[in-house]
Amino acid sequence: MRNLSGALRGAAEATTVAHPMPTRTQPPGLLPQVADLLDERARRVLSAIVRDYIHGGEPVGSHAIARRPDVDVSSATVRAVMADLEDLGYLEKPHTSAGRIPTGHGYRYYVDVLLKVKQPLPEEREQIERRAHEASAQLDGLMTAASRVLHSLTRHAGVIASPRPQSERLQRIEFLQLREGRVLAVLVSRSGAVRNRLLTLPRGAGAPELERSANYLNTLIADLTLPEAQARVKAELLRDRAELSDLEARALSLGAQAVQLEAPSMHIEGQASLLEDKVLGQDLSRIRALFRALEEKELLLAVLDRTLEAQELRIFIGAESGIVEPDLAIVAAPYRVNGEVVGALGVIGPTRMDYSRIVPLVELTARTVGLTLEEP
């Protein structure tokens, strides 16, 4: 393993700057002209309410906010500002409570404009790095370790998708003959990921030529992504058959089977932690619906795909994720291998999660996974 400590420490310290994250988390629903309606006092009040609700889980009243040194105005002034924020859709009053809680728009404004992240503690940084190092020998082990450390540090569900095969570059392909005309194709990527495909041996092919077939294919597909390898093999198969030897034709037939795309695997740890939230945990029917949604791998992969497309950290609040539970939030970040985005990971929890702490932990874990995958 290369020296991760210095690289990760610099990365972690880079996340401690005051954090407006304007464009990377901004959804279409929050219009800039609406955001501009909030003056400095309204911003301080909204920030205080969001932070109090995140930590307490109870509606926040004007007296509690007025006492805060960072607000420092009368209760009457706070009530007037709260009423304005409610009219603008950033706060709501649950039931008959005199206090307010943030809406999805309130959280969105908070994370886009007001959020200041906290530097991860040295022991948190050490734990992330150590667990990645201990699990670095196998890809599945690293994916499991990453989801577990995110759950352990945040007390929310940790999720990670394995490197996207279509994003990774192939290093080599190998063939191993099995019984009854079956062949095991072993695809090794530049990141060290190994994928096995069970194939049918082409008619007329024999075990002695499998090594030569692999060598031939490696001259064609080495250092290509899977989509590029697919296109290259297809183009070779479309050549005039008279130009291909029997060995090349059979090798290309095997190669076409071997480079088929498949969905990445998903690792999720700590779904039960969602039961501990005061809002989510009080309605069992909502929890059942949420758990069913999280079992649908395609839904989570779609969220992580949006992070891959953005190539930067994204925060999905409520309905923005496309998952049915409105009180759910997802903080996700891509991880890179040799500068190329290949996968994504994140944290799933209630909308009142502590974004100031979770955002840098997710970013740091993503960097650690990428740096670990770069090692031989």
When the pLDDT of each residue in the chain is averaged and rounded to a whole number, the result is 83
Residue 150: pLDDT over 70: yes
DSSP codes joined into one string, 350-369:
ETTS-HHHHHHHHHHHHHHH
CATH number at residue 98: 1.10.10.10
214 plus 228 within the same structural domain: yes
Domain boundary among 195, 230, 258: 258
8 plus 140 within the same structural domain: yes
35 plus 89 within the same structural domain: yes
pLDDT at 182: 84
pLDDT tens per residue across span 27-43 = 434 444 444 678 999 99
For residue 363, what are its two tokens? Answer: 């970013």
CB distance 332 to 363 below 8 Å: no
Full residue range of the structural domain in which residue 28 is found: 22-114
Domain boundary among 223, 258, 293: 258
270 plus 366 within the same structural domain: yes
CATH number at residue 312: 3.30.450.40
242 plus 358 within the same structural domain: no
DSSP codes joined into one string, 66-118:
HTSTTT-S-HHHHHHHHHHHHHTTSEE--TT-SSBEE-HHHHHHIIIII-B--
43 plus 137 within the same structural domain: no
| Cβ-based neighbours of 146, under 8 Å, separated by 6 or more | 131, 132, 158, 160, 267, 345, 365, 368, 369
CB distance 359 to 329 below 8 Å: no
Higher pLDDT residue, 201 or 160?
A: 160
345 plus 276 within the same structural domain: yes
pLDDT at 261: 73
365 plus 254 within the same structural domain: no
pLDDT tens per residue across span 107-134 = 999 999 999 999 999 999 999 999 999 9
Higher pLDDT residue, 55 or 72?
A: 55
CB distance 191 to 342 below 8 Å: yes
Euclidean distance between CA atoms 315 and 148, whole angstroms? 20
- How many domains does the chain fold into? 3
CB distance 333 to 96 below 8 Å: no
Euclidean distance between CA atoms 206 and 204, whole angstroms? 7
283 plus 365 within the same structural domain: yes
pLDDT at 5: 45
284 plus 321 within the same structural domain: yes
Q: Which amino acid is at 76?
A: A
In this prediction the pTM is: 0.73
Q: 147: exposed, middle or buried (C-beta count within 10 Å: 0-12, 13-18, 19+)?
A: buried
pLDDT tens per residue across span 359-370 = 999 999 999 999
Of the candidates 170, 148, 172, the one whose C-alpha atom is nearest the C-alpha of residue 160 is 148
pLDDT at 324: 66
Domain boundary among 233, 258, 283: 258
8 plus 37 within the same structural domain: no
192 plus 235 within the same structural domain: yes
